[in-house]
Structure 1
Amino acid sequence: MAPPADPSPPPPATPTTEPPGEPSTTNPTLNPSAAGAATATQPNAGQTAAAARPSAAETMTAAQPNAAQTETATQPNAAQTETATQPNAAETAAATQPGASTAAHHRRRKAPGQRRPTSAGSEPDAAGDRPWRRAALVGGGAFAASRAGLAAVSVFAWIGDQQPHRTPSQVARLWASQWDSKWFVAIAEHGYQPTPDASPAAFFPLYPLLIRAATPLCLGRAWVAALLVANGALLAALILLYRLTDLELGRAAAARATFYLVAFPTGFFLSAAYNEGLFLALMLATVYCLRRRLWWSAAALGALAATTRSAGILLAAAFAFEYVRVHRGIPAFRLGAAEKLSTTERLNAAEKLEGAGKLNAAEKLSATAKRRGAGKLRGTGNLRHWSEICAFIGIPCGLGAVMIVNQKAYGDPLAFSHTQAAHWGRHLTWPWVAPMNAARHAGPWFTEIWAHNVLELTTVATLAVLLIPWLRRTLDQAIYPMLGLALVAFMVSFPSRYTSDIPYPLYSASRIGLEVFPAFMALGALGRRPWLDRAVLATFLSTQGVLAAHFLHSGWVA
């Protein structure tokens, strides 16, 4: 805000004060001879004019500062009005500070693709925006809060239990010795051991490999390394989820999405010795690089995701979609042909003029240089685009690495798929078949089978309801609902066969649903309504407490 105009009157001006650039020809002080003549011939009139002119000068001088003050007073208001029309409110608040324009320029963030409008609560800090620092603080806070909650479950889950005394180490080890956790730790310790049905092949190798690498740091205890890797990956996933959601939907939605993820009913699996947290972190990092147009980094991270879970292959489709959206086609084909045509036409015209003898030596040299430069430029541009397209192949190479491991261990490159069918009844079917079977075979109310089917059905339905409306948004953010729905479709298209041993067609859907991070982004945006935010957190946290206690008692959850 500009300082107010000085209300005190300006100092009186002397008769010699004239506006710059406007010398007076009749002022006695500027023309002595004329003043003398006037005084000699007309003394009274000269005195009268001399007395009158200073008054006029004073009047003019007095009027000019007032005009300047008026202009000075109105200009800041105009500047404020102009500044107020800018979309970023934080830059308006900081505009009065020294160097505000420079600081605002460096604080300005550009969202991937089309810039999103700044929403309430998402303005940059007045002292400078540090998005990764903010993401680390919020993600670390959600991580610490979830540790406190799981510690409370680990303490109070034994109320009414008749088992003998347990040590804290034994309770901690329960988080790394339930169900799938045993497989991951065994593979880390002994590798892919041959079995009649090749069951270990169902568990992809990256997570066990990281466990083995971290085991020496944990004094040779593989189960401690498994928990260390899983929780480190969860922390990275929370930071990346906040950062990505902040870019797309604003800070408030990002903070809510981060807490919704750890509060989800099966969110405790992200802290146990499972590979969901690692896969989620790699997926988020891949999508972040895609949105930043870091194609090779996205390909490398996507390949790692494909060596963690089979659903990582879907990131190849996300890569292709985002690349085509950004370039409005495939530049190596579309732009190369146009540039080639344009260059050919220009060179043909130059050759005609050169052949007709209408170009001098300098013009001939210039035409030759342009011909060579155009060829190099076209070749360099096509080479860059081809290299970006080749990066796409890196993601399927991750799954190829898994097939090589399966071939070496079991003599079958598709052992991971065959063992899922033989041991867990997984099979390919239409996406709507498994939800219909789960609803039809839900079982009697308030029984274990019914509770599991309700949990899986509710998870699938909630994810779909959150993602489908997002498809109506701009094409710039279409990668999120499309990837989310692809993950849901992949999950329900490989259900378990309904048998008496496995009466859950949507086997583990509530746990695998943790990987559908776009749904949590959408829920974070919807949570701006206080009543919905509180209802979601209350439902999620109370359900997770019950399921986590059941998990510690070696009960099957998902």
Structure 2
Amino acid sequence: MRSAKQRLSLLWSSHPWVVLIVTMACFLVAVTVLGTWSRGDYLRRYPTHDYRLAAFSPPLNNILYYDSEHYYNIATSGYDASTPTSPARARIAFFPFYPMITHGLSVISGIPIDWSLLIIDWMSALTLVVVLYYWAIAELRHARIRDSAAPKFMLMGLVLFPTSFFLATGYTESLFMLLIAGSLLSYRQHRYALAGLLAALATATRVQGICLVIFFFLELISVRRRRIVLRQPIEYRKLIPLIMAPLGMLAFMVFQFITRGDALAFIHAQTIWGKFSSNYISNMFLHSDIRDVWYLAVYSFLCIATYKTLGWRWLLYCLAPFVLTLSAGSMMSINRYILSIFPLFLGLALFRHRISRPLLVGIGASSFLLLVTNIVFFYIGAWVG
């Protein structure tokens, strides 16, 4: 008679994707329950503080916040360019792929837009953990690193990160990370056309997707140099994802040029959100608080771990989204953007043997504490990322 631990171990060895999906489902439910409870308790204490504006149907009016509201409006009525300072015009800063497929799901199935937002978010999160797991295995095989436990530790670090709850809240995190992970996994499997397609969809989902171009370029020149030294033919199929990756963003720019006469409207709209101001220094810290010290310290540590274990190419890729975000002159949402740089967590998983146990426990415990705090704050209407 096998024990529960033995049965779980057997299930993991034979069907790891089942364990991953069930675990992620439990995480999504736990986040939603904790968030809904904290919001209900908050409104009982402060009944006049319910300042939500979105017309979400119950119970989603207790779950969907901030960016979800903009994606809901884009999926419902598209982009509006009525006046230069209107909130509707500012929505051009939000990329179209997430609201597009939300609208598509709603039209095909008859499911309301708000429920479609959450369904796509949750389905993406459930698929994400499986794709990330197999990407990590493929990446370690490519790098000739033997550490079978690293993919599991990577996912554990990702879920414990203080902004991982955004995987459950109608934001682009789940979908964006799934597209990036799928593109990188396809690339390692030499399915370059699929890698390019997923990369193009990623650049149509969020501006940080363009950083994939850096990864594909660095991989190309590295392989080219190695093959020249070994006198092997160069595999030009690797150019496919490099060429295809920017197409999603370019398509969005063409749409902006046709509808507004401004191909860079998504950048210019950032000024409405407090970015690209004339005073970069003061604006950089306008939305910062003491918690950002933790995020910046941990991010720096993760970059070092990634460089030590995965090399300089992955370090440059992990630095690119961070630098791109700071180039707007604002640290707004930087903690959420760090979450989507998931190679950092693989670097940490591989580096875990070189970290003292107290430090590793301290990072994990503080991360979990911030995660719970962020969930509660987010659901009562505070800005946390």
Contact 1:143 1:238 in 2 (8 A): no
Local SS of the residue matching 2:246: helix
Matched letter for residue 173 of structure 1:
N
Please state if 1:535 is matched with 2:369: no
Aligned to 1:493: 327
Greater RCO (Cα-Cα under 8 Å, separation 6 or more): 2
**Alignment counterpart, residue 77 of structure 2, candidates 190, 212, 223:** 190
Please state if 1:278 is matched with 2:278: no
Q: Tell me the TM-score normalized by structure 1.
A: 0.57
Matched letter for residue 487 of structure 1:
P
1:215–1:315 CA distance, 2 compared to 1 (3 A): same
In the TM superposition, what is the alpha-carbon distance from 1:406 to its structure 2 partner? 1.2
In the TM superposition, what is the alpha-carbon distance from 1:157 to its structure 2 partner? 4.0
Seq. identity, %: 22
Aligned to 1:471: 307
Distance 2:336 2:248 in 1: 23
Aligned to 2:296: 460
**Alignment counterpart, residue 227 of structure 1, candidates 113, 118, 122:** 118
Matched letter for residue 209 of structure 1:
M
Matched letter for residue 511 of structure 1:
R
In the TM superposition, what is the alpha-carbon distance from 1:285 to its structure 2 partner? 1.3
1:241–1:391 CA distance, 2 compared to 1 (3 A): closer
Q: How does 1:145-164 map to 2 (within 5 A)?
A: 145-159=27-41, 161-162=44-45, 163=47
Contact 2:36 2:62 in 1 (8 A): no
CA RMSD of aligned residues (A): 3.3
Distance 1:127 1:194 in 2: 53
Distance 1:391 1:507 in 2: 30
Aligned to 1:350: none
Matched letter for residue 257 of structure 1:
M
Contact 1:204 1:309 in 2 (8 A): yes
Aligned to 1:111: none
Please state if 1:509 is matched with 2:337: no
Q: Tell me the TM-score normalized by structure 2.
A: 0.81
**Alignment counterpart, residue 266 of structure 1, candidates 163, 169, 189:** 163
Number of residue-to-residue matches in the alignment: 357
Aligned to 1:137: 19
Contact 2:161 2:371 in 1 (8 A): yes
Matched letter for residue 317 of structure 1:
I
Distance 2:113 2:363 in 1: 36
Contact 1:193 1:409 in 2 (8 A): no
In the TM superposition, what is the alpha-carbon distance from 1:330 to its structure 2 partner? 7.8
Deviation string 1:170-194 (CA, Å, 9 cap, x unpaired) is 3433322x21111101000111122
Please state if 1:481 is matched with 2:315: yes
Distance 2:193 2:17 in 1: 24
Larger % of helix: which? 2
Matched letter for residue 491 of structure 1:
T
Local SS of the residue matching 2:123: helix
Contact 1:290 1:322 in 2 (8 A): no
In the TM superposition, what is the alpha-carbon distance from 1:478 to its structure 2 partner? 4.2
Gaps of 5+ in 2: 1-8, 51-55
Local SS of the residue matching 1:297: helix
Distance 1:486 1:281 in 2: 19
**Alignment counterpart, residue 172 of structure 1, candidates 60, 65, 73:** 60
Contact 1:434 1:493 in 2 (8 A): no
Contact 1:306 1:399 in 2 (8 A): yes
In the TM superposition, what is the alpha-carbon distance from 1:142 to its structure 2 partner? 3.3
Distance 1:126 1:143 in 2: 20
Matched letter for residue 156 of structure 2:
F
1:127–1:507 CA distance, 2 compared to 1 (3 A): closer
In the TM superposition, what is the alpha-carbon distance from 1:268 to its structure 2 partner? 1.4
**Alignment counterpart, residue 243 of structure 2, candidates 393, 404, 411:** 393
Gaps of 5+ in 1: 1-124, 340-380, 442-448, 497-505
Contact 1:466 1:519 in 2 (8 A): yes
Please state if 1:302 is matched with 2:203: no
Which sits farther off after the overlay, 206-215 or 523-532? 523-532
